[in-house]
Structure 1
Amino acid sequence: MSPVTITRKTSRPSLTILGGGPGGYEAAMVASKQGAAVTVIESQGMGGSAVLTDVVPSKTLIATADSMRRAAGAPGLGVDVRDRPAVANMPVVNRRLLDLAVEQSQDIQRALERAGGRVIIGTGRLTGPSTVEAVTEHGTEVIESENILLATGARPRELPTAVPDGERIFNWTQVYSLTEVPEHMIVVGSGVTGAEFASAYNQLGARVSLVSSRDRVLPGEDPDAAAVLEDAFTEDGVNVVGKTRAESVERTENGVRVQLSGGRVLEGSHCLLAVGGIPNTADLGLAEAGVELTESGHIAVDGVSRTSAPGIYAAGDCTGVLALASVAAMQGRVAVAHLMGDAVKPFQPHLVASNIFTSPEIATVGVTEAQVASGKYQADILKLDLATNPRAKMQNVRHGFVKIFARKGSGTVIGGVVVAPRASELIYPIALAVNRKLHVDDLANTYTVYPSISGSISEAARRLHVYL
């Protein structure tokens, strides 16, 4: 059957989007609401891997693990749980998180279709600077549009000597088939994904070993925050195996064997590989359409999400900017603003707030300690441990701190770190201060609830008061 060509010639601007993840669906929603004729081509379902196999499932698993953490800490609050210890029922846990992911995907599709967008479940490929070929189970059609947004995401990187099988050796999209808590989960990779899963499975009751090629976990994050997490890992029994690499992972009769550099061997029941991602940029017709890639295989974009080809934009993990759903969504919204002729501010990475969903959580925004140490920024830094916070004491919080970076001389808030339960929520006032260039006194003089963890943010700002 020859392909059907559909040309969306209307008085409205037209946009075809490859990929329905955060970058794609946010762009589609905004463009549809502004009157554009929008088509989204997505192979898995709206929300893409972020909703169906990555962010939503993993954070739901982590929420269950956090409930286990709180149950385990109940005796410290005077609650006797000896007669009913908490046990993770993995089939129920995994069924819930997968159902929630599907529900979220369906909610996104319904919302987009209500806004006037069109969703095609299938694969897409550029056949020219303004045409996309969509292949579905029903056939092939070629769609012409004035603008194209590439939001194809990324997939887990695999090692040739450690191939996931979905039974004993997993990548992060496959672990939701487990029918019981692993006896000994070996996590390879100590970046954000590895640290999150190590923390989660430890709280769920598994013995966990975390293999790190560096001398500490989270090598790219705030060193004080990484140190606190390592202390928590040590206290919780996580075995951090540092300064070594996994050279191979193989199945054994009842588990896995991980061969480490230097000759050491780890044996466990399961292995989770968290060694980064690969952009989904192959076989998309990018070269034919004039879209340039970086050396790493990512799509090169500028501050308003434009690629090297006129009328073609890109957003999300396929661009290699920052592997965060919030960043993908922002890139998508920026692209739409630009192509619709709306007022647009170029994407500014230093304003991005991010969070690592370990126990405790680690949230950051703005300037980092490394940037101050290098001399790139001149800043006064105040770190306040939560050990002095009354609400933290009440909640039996043993690990955490608030850190604020203020521009030296002026007192403008330029960065911050929060390590605490729910740090993802607590970082918001600091992120707002960074985005709006607020003074430390603005934070200090804003009323906080007593007692509250957020009170430590106000107190840290108060200690950074600049006397003029």
Structure 2
Amino acid sequence: MAVRTFDSIVIGTGPAGEGTAMKLAKANQRVAVIEAYDKVGGGCTHWGTIPSKALRHSIQMLADYRRNPLFQHTRDQVEVEFPDLLRAADSVIDHQVRTRYRYYQRNRVELLFGHARFVDPHRVQVQRPDGVAELIEAEHLVIATGSRPYHPPDVDFSHPRIHDSDSILKLAHTPRSLTIYGAGVIGCEYASIMACLDVKVNLVDTRDRLLSFLDNEITDALSYHLREQGVVIRHNESYERVEPSDDGVVLHCNSGKKLKTDALLWANGRSGNTEDLGLEAIGLEPNKRGQIEVDKSYRTELEHIFAVGDVAGPPALASASYDQGRFVGAVIADGNCDWSLIDEFPTGIYTVPEISSIGRTEHELTAEKIPYEVAQAHFKSIARAQITGHTVGMLKLLFHSETKAILGIHCFGEQASEIVHIGQAIMSQPGSANSIEYFAETTFNYPTMAEAYRVAALNGLNRLF
């Protein structure tokens, strides 16, 4: 079998693989990218971030319509099913695929569609859909194969009433009731989405509070609003077994509870896509969740092979994965990278309302004995929020009591994932440039949601003595 040679090979076209390939292409490397699916974009584009966030946007528009007094005479006549909302995401996905395909063409990156498998540390066999196999080799290789929902072996995911976060996007009807096992980011997002469709939702949390990595005040607000939407939250529960039948699914909990609903969404963990990659042929062994161990430069135990994105473990965010890919591309092309990945990056959670945060929480600052003060702005007092009708939520800034440096930004409400970036830009400034006084002394457009920073800053500074 003839072997084609490249400078670098990237396996996967999700954010991490794309970031790597584009960086290497800009460095004039000859790059081959292998994609197992028949379209570029990875799980982020086809089963994860893009479709679920497009779905959430459609849900928000429906909620806004029902709440708007202009449509009071017709709002009860509109019936929308889950598949109708999913179809709204199709055009976004198609556009994303076309855009990303053009990136590869414009940068002369060779795309190979098929299953990749290592033959030895420098060669990969690509099994194409038509059955033809091709062998390629390169000096450097990057594994960016992403992740998939974790499937415990005792749960029958082939049953039509049992879903994961991928298969739920193929749901052909709106269930009357749904149990979601796992109250992480994905579980909370889908609980919020389904509740807006008047689905009766049980959200089963294996811990004692939702999203414990967030600020307590934010998670308390999320819990309150989920319950307001009709979601029943069950903390400190774990499953004993899942019992599907023709008329529903029963989740048997170790506490003795039995939860029967039309369908079950399993949203408890993800696994790296490392099966059948031939890693045993090159001496790499993934951990029990299918993730590959890497160092701070994303090198594996083999110095010329890197792993980036979800397959390398946390944080498993599309934004961070793309940056990891660019970082590795620079390391490969230049031998080193003159910039480093940021330690603190924003978290965006697309519940209804949204959540976004960056930096430390009150709990963390208290544990570290750092003197801090709280600055708050409630959206109900912001003119732009009153105009749009999105008055639920708040902006919360944590800042050092003495230096006034911003230590944490926590936002709950519509457009939270956009609002947080304003504070992020100031928080990342060196020295005295990172100060809450910036927001008190800056003129914002009026009316805007950005004005919440000025309101919060004045609120916080007034607390100092």
- Alpha-carbon RMSD across the aligned residues, in angstroms, is 2.3
Deviation (angstroms), 1:388: 2.7
In structure 2, what is the Cα distance between the partners aligned to 1:434 and 1:222?
Answer: 17
**Any idea what the Cα deviations from partners look like across 1:295-317, whole Å, max 9, x if unmatched?**
75422223332223222222100
Q: Which residue of the other structure, out of 13, 16, 36, is the alignment partner of 1:20?
A: 13
Q: Name stretches of at least 5 consecutive residues in structure 1 with no aligned partner.
A: 9-13
Contact 2:66 2:72 in 1 (8 A): no
- Evaluate the alpha carbon distance shift between residue 113 and residue 306 of structure 1 in structure 2; reply closer, same or farther with a 3 A threshold: same
**1:167-316 aligned within 5 A:** 167-291=160-284, 293=286, 297-316=290-309
- Evaluate the alpha carbon distance shift between residue 314 and residue 241 of structure 1 in structure 2; reply closer, same or farther with a 3 A threshold: same
Q: Which residue of the other structure, out of 80, 88, 102, is the alignment partner of 1:88?
A: 80
Contact 2:31 2:109 in 1 (8 A): yes
Deviation (angstroms), 1:333: 0.6
In structure 2, what is the Cα distance between the partners aligned to 1:198 and 1:89?
Answer: 16
User: What amino acid does structure 2 have at the position aligned with 1:5?
Assistant: V
In structure 1, what is the Cα distance between the partners aligned to 2:45 and 2:116?
Answer: 19
Q: In the alignment, which residue of structure 1 is the partner of 2:446? A: 450
- Evaluate the alpha carbon distance shift between residue 286 and residue 229 of structure 1 in structure 2; reply closer, same or farther with a 3 A threshold: same
Q: Secondary structure at the match of 2:119?
A: strand
Deviation (angstroms), 1:346: 2.5
Deviation (angstroms), 1:172: 0.6
Deviation (angstroms), 1:69: 1.6
Q: Indicate whether 1:117 and 2:109 are aligned.
A: yes
Contact 1:47 1:108 in 2 (8 A): yes
- Evaluate the alpha carbon distance shift between residue 317 and residue 164 of structure 1 in structure 2; reply closer, same or farther with a 3 A threshold: same
Question: How many residues are matched?
Answer: 458
Deviation (angstroms), 1:325: 0.3
Q: Indicate whether 1:60 and 2:37 are aligned.
A: no
Deviation (angstroms), 1:246: 2.7
Q: In the alignment, which residue of structure 1 is the partner of 2:403? A: 410
Q: Which residue of the other structure, out of 338, 348, 358, is the alignment partner of 2:342?
A: 348
User: What amino acid does structure 1 have at the position aligned with 2:425?
Assistant: L
**Any idea what the Cα deviations from partners look like across 1:328-363, whole Å, max 9, x if unmatched?**
10100111111121643232332x112000011000
User: What amino acid does structure 1 have at the position aligned with 2:109?
Assistant: G
Contact 1:68 1:86 in 2 (8 A): no
- Evaluate the alpha carbon distance shift between residue 396 and residue 285 of structure 1 in structure 2; reply closer, same or farther with a 3 A threshold: same
**Any idea what the Cα deviations from partners look like across 1:159-183, whole Å, max 9, x if unmatched?**
2332223621100101122222211
In structure 2, what is the Cα distance between the partners aligned to 1:436 and 1:87?
Answer: 49
- Evaluate the alpha carbon distance shift between residue 372 and residue 184 of structure 1 in structure 2; reply closer, same or farther with a 3 A threshold: same
Q: TM-score, normalised by structure 2?
A: 0.92
Q: Identity, % of aligned pairs?
A: 27
In structure 1, what is the Cα distance between the partners aligned to 2:247 and 2:338?
Answer: 56
In structure 2, what is the Cα distance between the partners aligned to 1:359 and 1:295?
Answer: 34
User: What amino acid does structure 2 have at the position aligned with 1:118?
Assistant: E
- Evaluate the alpha carbon distance shift between residue 115 and residue 454 of structure 1 in structure 2; reply closer, same or farther with a 3 A threshold: same
Q: Indicate whether 1:105 and 2:97 are aligned.
A: yes
Q: Which moved more, 1:102-111 or 1:187-196?
A: 102-111
Q: In the alignment, which residue of structure 2 is the partner of 1:71? A: 65
User: What amino acid does structure 2 have at the position aligned with 1:354?
Assistant: T
Contact 1:403 1:416 in 2 (8 A): yes
- Evaluate the alpha carbon distance shift between residue 447 and residue 126 of structure 1 in structure 2; reply closer, same or farther with a 3 A threshold: farther
User: What amino acid does structure 2 have at the position aligned with 1:195?
Assistant: C
Deviation (angstroms), 1:257: 1.4
In structure 2, what is the Cα distance between the partners aligned to 1:446 and 1:259?
Answer: 55
**1:311-350 aligned within 5 A:** 311-341=304-334, 343-350=337-344
